[in-house]
Amino acid sequence: MAAKVVIGVDHGGLHIKNVIIEHLEQRGFEVKDVGVFSEESADYPDKAVDAVKEFRRGGYDFGVVCCGTGIGISISANKMKGITCAMPQNSFAAQMAREHNNVNFIAFGGRIDYTEPIEKILDSFIDAEFAGGRHLRRVKKMNNLEI
């Protein structure tokens, strides 16, 4: 069975969505796209909710969310219990988000000029594995902050 990813974007992340989906599919992922599908204005909190609800149905390896900057949709995702969403600025940060923080969502900004291709940043996230050890203690503390 193919690994699965859910992706949700607002209108600000629409143009990078297809780049991300194409790259994920090339890597063998099955992608569930919960929208948006047009440039009509959409609220990023709503798209974060759609992605998280789908993720919670189970069977997904991780989620991807995008808005204009990645900030609003990542904050929205992080407000939901059980979701840890990173918004890495480069491939090193993406790798560390997975290795040290064990995040289950990654966010990108459609209006951000990244210094590396988004595909490279995404690959660093995908190819990394949670390191456990001392990081497990920290992740547990972080998750216990959900009050």
- 85 part of the active site: no
- 11 part of the active site: no
φ, ψ at 66 (rounded to 5°)? -140, 140
Out of 11, 23, 66, 67, the active site residue is: 67
Catalytic residues: 67, 100
